[in-house]
Amino acid sequence: MIERMTILVNGMRRIAALLTNGRATRTRVRATLIAFTLLATCHVARAQSTDATVASGLSVQFTDNFLNLPDWRERLSLASTLGTTIVRIDLNWPWIEKQPGRYDWALYDAFAAELEKLRLRPLFILNRPNPLYGTPYDAVMDGKRDRGPAPPSTPSQIAAFARWAAAAAERYQHLNPIWELWNEPDQDGFWPPTPNPPGYVALAREACVAIKQRVSNAFVTGPSAAQMPTVWRPRKPLIQALLNDKELLTCLDAISLHTHRFKQTPETVSRDYAVLRDNYLAAWPAAIPKKPIIDTEWGDSAYRSGISEDTQALWLPRMFLTNLMEQVRLTNWYCLMDVGTDDDEMEHRFGLVRSDGTLRPAFQAYKTLAREIGGMSLRETIARFDVATARGVTILRFCDEAGQQCKIAAWSTERDGTSQKITVPGWRRSGPGIDHLGREDVSQRNTNGILEIEPKPSVSYIPVTVAR
């Protein structure tokens, strides 16, 4: 409240200065009044950290099964074209350790070499049960009988996983990887036959410590939770088990989770972050420095019962930008390419690239985001949607390191079609606006030195400079 009042007081001072200036016009005074009237109804003017560019946290998923295809290099090159800087992929344990204590790195060495050539940073998921070290299970999962090795659980099995993780960290340290400890251990599909949060924590603790002993500056994250706490399901045993283990909390460099919305608008994630903060992060042990949150899976499927391809493209930049407002600096889009051809199967249609190799509109939306603000960092949240309702207008200011080049990213959530114009005092347009697909945004007009924005559900990128 104090912050908002300070903004409004400063705004009224600006209005007073205009009124005492003989050159002030009614238009300028009216524009400033409208701006502060509208911004007073939003969450406004919050300064942001400037230490990381947007591009440094742009990630995309590359499915490990693609490495078995002859054209996997051509597929990976699309990530470079996209403008991402990070590629997330499973480092598949049973593919590498097929005999006890003997590691075959050939497949991933080739992948690592290609990443280095493309100047992409890997986010390796240390993942998958290994039949050499997993207790066999036979259980009914999702209505179907399933058999296979369970994740490591005994001391010797956990030690084997930790040895392999440390060896991987040493082998690929030249790529400055992010190491993620397992994938979605709160799902029976990844931690069969049933999730076991204390079991995961025991595995993650030993692996993290082993990695740091081998490569002291390695960046390690977990638990890669399938679902964050939400307003509908606030209780998450995996998150609680993580918070209960001080040794693991101390070892980790970031907390990773997944924020899939499943046809909900991107802005709904903010109220779930509030649940995470209030129910869990508020109880963070005082003796341990708090760790940042990273989002290692966020996507929306364009399958038959899902969202349309146009909506996927519309929402993609809003996903990344909403995370930035929540101080989540890394967002991984799931995934680069479709993994199947069945339009009735949700898992097959998350891709930015269709199964036939053609590009979805969301590919262009990602590319535009990277091109327009990738080299900048978020400097100011001028206005934002209402967290409780996930509706409203958002206006963000991004600038380069020197503060010489700045852009506004603005949008509104889906609404009943009523348009509104918002004037942002202190800034003027310095070039044409660009829409979420990289086209000139003719709806954002130049207004004689006054920055006037008409937000709509698609993100607009508007170059600005300080008004003089």
> What pLDDT digit, counting tens, does each position of 377-393 carry?
999 999 999 999 999 99
pLDDT of residue 447: 64
Note the pLDDT of residue 446: 62
Whether the CB-CB separation of 151 and 201 falls below 8 Å is answered with no
Fold type of domain 55-376? TIM Barrel (3.20.20)
Both tokens of residue 100?
């006890």
d(CA 447, CA 445): 6
User: What is residue 17's predicted lDDT score, i.e. its pLDDT?
Assistant: 38
CB 342 within 8 A of CB 306: no
**Given this model, what pLDDT does residue 143 score?**
83
380, with CB counted inside 10 A (0-12, 13-18, 19+), is middle
Q: At what angle do helices 269-279 and 309-325 cross, to 10 degrees?
A: 40
pLDDT in tens, 215-248: 999 999 999 999 899 999 999 999 999 999 999 9
How much of the chain, in percent, has pLDDT values that exceed 90? Answer: 82
Q: What is the pLDDT of residue 342?
A: 96
Q: What is the pLDDT of residues 19-71, one digit of tens each?
A: 334 434 433 433 344 344 444 444 455 665 557 999 999 999 999 999 999 99
Mean pLDDT, residues 323-328: 98
Q: What's the whole-number average pLDDT of the chain?
A: 89
For 205, phi and psi rounded to 5 degrees? -60, -50
| pLDDT tens track for 88-127 | 999 999 999 999 999 999 999 999 999 999 999 999 999 9
CATH class assigned to 2-49+378-466 = mainly beta
The span from the CA of 395 to the CA of 427, in Å, is 13
The answer to pTM > 0.85 is yes
Domain with CATH 3.20.20.80 in the chain: 55-376
What does the pLDDT read at residue 100?
97
Nearest of 195, 194, 217, 213 to residue 205 by alpha carbon: 213
Using a pLDDT cut of 70, give the percent of the chain over it. 87
Q: Which residue's entry shows tokens 């300028």?
A: 28
Task: Supply the DSSP string of 106-154, one letter for each residue.
Answer: HHHHHHHHHHHHHT-EEEEEEE---TTTS-EEEEEETTEEEEEEPPP-S
User: Cβ contacts of residue 54 below 8 Å, gap of 6+?
Assistant: 320, 324, 369, 370, 373, 374, 375, 376, 377, 378, 398
Which residue ranges does the chain devote to CATH 2.60.40? Answer: 2-49+378-466
The answer on pLDDT for 182 being more than 70 is yes
pLDDT tens for 394-435 read: 999 999 999 999 999 999 998 745 678 899 989 999 999 999
| CA dihedral sign, ordered 275, 285, 47, 297 | negative
